[in-house]
Amino acid sequence: MKSFLEKVKHHRFGLLVLISLLVVSISFFTRLFLLIAADGIQELSILNILEAFFIGFFFDLINATYFIIPVLIYLWLCPERIYNKRWHKYVLNFILFFFTSLLIFNSISEWFFWEEFTTRFNFIAVDYLVYTTEVIGNIQQSYPIEWYIGAALAFSALIVYQFRSWT
């Protein structure tokens, strides 16, 4: 008898579960690394840390729905004859690669935002969206963006390769 995970993995909508797991996992590790990088970690109690991680987990689940809704609509509307084609596996792998790349690049961006402002994305990040041209110019001058994008894409490719049986 197949395990529950095997059934989910080979189900048509199994990709949604995988994307949700990736959102939660990458967000968890981002939160963990930012906690470790925080200077005031000694001032936090175990209860405060657990509370932050549980609240963060709740928000990660909400965030996961934003990621899976477009994929859900696509998988729902995709006819069975197209879904079962061999080339369609590459489409699903690309979808997984795209969303994984976004998640990893966001995690990298949060790290540098934390180093600059000792906070997670907030109203300052909104200012970055308003003054996009100036901010992008400053970021390109300050950081080797091409290397970070390359690293995010390479790590995403490794993740897609690892989970290729889910698509």
pLDDT computed for residue 41 by the predictor: 67
**pLDDT tens digits, residue range 97-135?**
999 999 999 999 888 888 877 777 777 767 777 777 777
In the chain, the amino acid numbered 142 is: S
Mean predicted confidence (pLDDT) in 31-51: 83
**Alpha carbon distance 138, 117 (integer Å):** 15
